[in-house]
Structure formats: structure tokens, C-alpha cells
């Protein structure tokens, strides 16, 4: 028992010494923290005292000095993005008028030619304003095929002359007879967009040939004259005479206000002519020359509202997707919606442009 006492006493001394050093270190760190905390409290008190002495006017002045740079940067970024979006929409408009409208018309005409040939072969092509069910032909129904070798026209003529129908190709005015019949048959065609089928109409001259095909067969016309807005009207056709008048816009594309007309006389005997079904008084104003279709306003307004909503959505998605990922998705969508809006604008434009 006595032999173990010195060893225990030595152990206890070593233990006491170790913990004493640890306590000393902890105490020093604690005292350092308290000193730092006290210094921070003193600095905060001094800062608070300094802030208390700052007047309200000085605070407002500091805020006013910092705010313009922030707003200027945000406004610059916002207007930059807005300019890009506006550029995409403007691009969509001209792309629709110059390219997409031509492709759409080419597709429509390709389908119309095949279907009209089928109707001719089966004897179901219309020969009057009434269809086989004794009801008025549907707007856009195929009624004739017109060929003008000199200006390279070979297209199917549809029924009705509203702006959306002349997008499909040459359009027959419903209050006139069909080509080849007794009386005056009037056909409208666009100058600039959607095939621009009659953009060279003014280059025709007396003696040029025009051919048409309807459910009653083929007819040939020769050009009598070319006249413009303000020129005197030709003499009325005589009894039993057939005449064809082609109508289009002339002048600067998209800004045309004048109309060019080509009058042609039927060669040979006219086809059997049914009684008139639609009178001039019954024809809506939107089917007259150089008229747009106001019905497109409502759809245009909805399209623009949807476009604005898309812009807001893409602005929000940019925070999650990132800048370039958002633009990759947004650009084709904005072009598609902008193209649809451009189509509605072109429907509002005159039906000969």
C-alpha cells in the first residue's frame, strides 16, 4: 500500500498540471472574446451615435444619389431586351410577308390544282354561284383555272374576294358571272404577298391571251386594254358577249393605293349562263377592291395579349433556366406567334396587296 502512494501522488500532480494549462488557455480565449465583444459593442454604440446625428435630409440625399445608377442599369437592360423582342416581331412580319406567305400560297395552290382537276374529271366543278346542293358556294371553293402565258400565271381561282381568300390565290368576285359566261367576270389577285399572282398585271398589252377553265370547259380571252384608277371605263359588253376583268394593286408594295385593271374580251361563243344569285348591293364591303377584313382585329388583339404573356413568362423562366437557355426556347416561339400576328395584320391590309 505504501509503495503505491508515491506513484499515485505523481499521477495526480501530472493530471492537475495538464488541466491547469487547459483551464488557462480556455480562460484566455474567453477573456479575448469578451474583450472583442466589448470592443464591438463600443464601436456599435459609436456608430449608432454617429447615425443618430445624421439628419433625415442627408439620408434622403444619399439614397437619391445611389438610386439613379441602379435604375439606369436596370432600364438599360430592360429596354435592351425589349428592343430584341421588338426586332424578333418585326422580323416575323417581314419574313411572313416576303417568304412564309409565298410558301403558304404555293402549298395552297398545289393542293387546289390537284383537287380542281379531280373535280373537273368527275364533272363536279361548279358552273354557277350555287353548288350541287343548290346552296351558295362556300367561300374559298375552287371555281376556275386561269392561265396567262405572258406573265407566267397558272393558278386556281377561288370563290370570294375577302382578304383572307385572296391569300390562297386569284379570287372570283361573287356578284359576277364565272369565266366563259355571258357578262363580265371579275377576278382579284394580290400584288405583293401570298404568291403575288398579279404583280405583273400592268405589263399586259392589247392582244395578249388569257385562258380559263371551268366546269363548263375552256375559254380564251384577248386583252383589250389596261387601265388605272381614274381612267375612263370601257364600253359595256354587248348582248351575248363575255368579258373578263383582272384587278390588282399597283404602286409601292404594301403602300399601294391605286388599282390596275385589265379588260379582256371572250373569243368565241359564251357558255350557258345561269341567273345572277348575288347582286352588287348584297356584296359585303370587305369584298370590294382594296378592302381589308376587320374581323381580324379580335384575333390580332388576342394574339398580341398572348405574346405579352409569353414575354412575361420567359422573363420569369430566365431566372431558373439561365440566359441562353431561355433565348433558345423563346426565339422560335416568339417568331411563330409573331408570324401568326403578322398574318392577321395582312388580313387587315387591302385584299389586293
Q: Which three three-digit cell numbers place residue 210?
A: 388569257
| pLDDT > 90 fraction of the chain, expressed in percent and rounded | 61
- pLDDT tier at 268 (50, 70, 90 boundaries)? very high
Range of the domain at 117: 74-353
pLDDT the model gives residue 9: 54
Q: How many residues does the chain have?
A: 353
DSSP state of 181: B
| Mean pLDDT, range 154-171, rounded to an integer | 97
Domain assignment present for 322: yes
User: In CATH, what number is assigned to the domain containing residue 121?
Assistant: 2.40.260.10
- Residue 318 is predicted with a pLDDT of 86
- Cβ(285)–Cβ(291) below 8 Å: yes
Instruction: Tell me how many degrees the CA angle 131-137-142 measures, rounded to the nearest 5.
Output: 95
Quote the pLDDT of residue 47: 47
From the list 251, 290, 261, 289, the residue with the least C-alpha distance to 201 is: 261
Q: What is the rounded average pLDDT for all residues in the chain?
A: 83
CA distances from 241 to 236, 313, 328 (A): 10, 63, 62
Residue entry with cell 400584288: 191
The reported pLDDT for the residue numbered 20 is 53
275 CB neighbour count, 10 Å cutoff: 7
Does an H or E element contain 218, and which?
strand 217-228
In this structure, are residues 175 and 283 in contact, taking their beta carbons and an 8 Å threshold?
Answer: yes
The radius of gyration computed from the CA coordinates of the chain, to the nearest angstrom, equals 41
The answer, yes or no, to whether residue 170 has pLDDT greater than 90, is: yes
- The answer on pLDDT for 178 being more than 60 is yes
Residue 17 within a domain: no
CB atoms within 10 A of CB 131: 15
Mean pLDDT for the stretch of residues 81-94: 84
Residue 30 lies in a domain: no
Instruction: Give domain status of residue 98, yes or no.
Output: yes
Per-residue pLDDT at 8 exceeds 80: no
β-pairing verdict for 171-172 and 183-188? antiparallel
Instruction: Quote the pTM value.
Output: 0.75
Residue 55 lies in a domain: no
Residue 23 in domain? no
Residue 57: the pLDDT is 45
On the question of pLDDT at 59 being above 80, the answer is: no
Q: pLDDT tens digits, residue range 125-135?
A: 999 999 878 88
* Local structure of residue 202 (DSSP, 8 states): G
Q: Are 129 and 157 in contact (CB under 8 A)?
A: no
Q: What is the pLDDT of residue 176?
A: 96
Of the candidates 149, 94, 97, which has an alpha carbon nearest to the alpha carbon of residue 353? 97
326 vs 345: CA distance, rounded Å:
28
Give the C-alpha separation, 205 to 159, whole Å.
Answer: 27
> Does 152 map to a domain?
yes
Per-residue confidence (pLDDT) for residue 209, from 0 to 100: 98
pLDDT number for residue 24: 53
- Predicted confidence (pLDDT) per residue in 221-255, tens digit: 999 999 999 999 999 999 899 999 999 999 988 88
- Which residue did the predictor score with more confidence, 33 or 317? 317
Does residue 9 lie within any of the structural domains? no
Q: In total, how many domains does the chain have?
A: 1
In the structure grid, which three cell numbers stand for residue 79, read together?
429596354
**Residue 79: which pLDDT band, with cuts at 50, 70 and 90?**
confident
Q: CB of 46 within 8 A of CB of 39?
A: no
Extract the C-alpha cell encoding 269. 361563243
Amino acid at each position: 500500500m505504501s509503495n503505491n502512494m508515491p506513484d499515485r501522488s505523481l499521477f495526480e500532480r501530472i493530471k492537475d498540471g495538464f488541466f491547469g494549462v487547459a483551464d488557462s488557455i480556455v480562460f484566455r480565449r474567453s477573456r479575448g472574446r469578451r474583450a472583442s465583444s466589448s470592443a464591438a459593442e463600443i464601436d456599435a454604440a459609436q456608430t449608432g451615435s454617429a447615425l443618430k446625428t445624421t439628419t433625415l435630409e442627408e439620408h434622403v440625399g444619399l439614397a437619391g444619389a445611389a438610386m439613379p445608377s441602379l435604375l439606369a442599369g436596370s432600364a438599360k437592360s430592360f429596354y435592351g431586351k425589349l428592343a430584341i423582342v421588338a426586332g424578333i416581331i418585326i422580323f416575323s412580319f417581314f419574313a411572313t410577308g416576303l417568304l412564309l406567305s409565298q410558301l403558304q400560297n404555293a402549298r395552297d395552290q398545289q393542293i387546289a390544282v390537284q383537287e380542281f382537276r379531280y373535280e373537273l374529271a368527275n364533272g363536279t366543278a361548279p358552273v354557277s354561284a350555287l353548288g350541287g346542293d343548290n346552296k351558295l358556294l362556300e367561300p374559298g371553293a375552287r371555281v376556275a383555272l386561269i392561265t396567262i402565258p405572258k406573265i407566267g400565271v397558272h393558278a386556281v381561282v377561288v370563290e370570294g374576294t375577302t382578304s383572307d381568300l385572296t391569300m390562297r390565290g386569284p379570287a372570283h368576285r361573287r356578284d359576277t358571272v364565272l369565266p366563259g359566261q355571258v357578262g363580265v367576270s371579275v377576278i382579284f389577285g394580290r400584288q405583293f404577298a401570298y404568291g403575288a399572282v398579279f404583280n405583273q398585271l400592268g405589263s399586259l398589252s392589247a392582244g395578249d391571251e388569257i385562258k380559263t377553265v371551268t366546269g363548263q370547259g375552256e375559254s380564251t380571252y384577248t386583252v383589250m386594254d389596261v387601265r388605272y384608277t381614274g381612267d375612263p371605263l370601257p364600253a359595256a359588253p354587248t348582248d351575248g358577249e363575255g368579258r373578263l376583268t383582272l384587278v390588282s394593286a399597283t404602286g409601292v408594295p404594301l403602300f399601294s393605293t391605286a388599282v390596275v385593271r385589265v379588260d379582256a374580251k371572250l373569243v368565241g361563243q359564251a357558255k350557258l349562263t345561269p341567273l345572277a344569285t348575288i347582286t352588287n348591293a348584297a356584296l359585303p364591303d370587305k369584298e370590294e377592291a382594296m378592302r381589308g377584313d376587320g374581323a381580324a382585329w379580335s384575333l390580332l388583339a388576342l394574339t398580341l395579349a398572348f405574346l405579352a404573356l409569353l414575354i412575361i413568362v420567359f422573363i420569369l423562366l430566365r431566372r431558373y433556366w439561365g440566359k441562353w437557355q431561355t433565348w433558345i426556347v423563346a426565339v422560335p416561339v416568339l417568331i411563330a406567334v409573331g408570324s401568326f400576328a403578322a398574318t392577321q395584320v395582312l388580313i387587315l391590309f387591302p385584299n389586293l396587296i
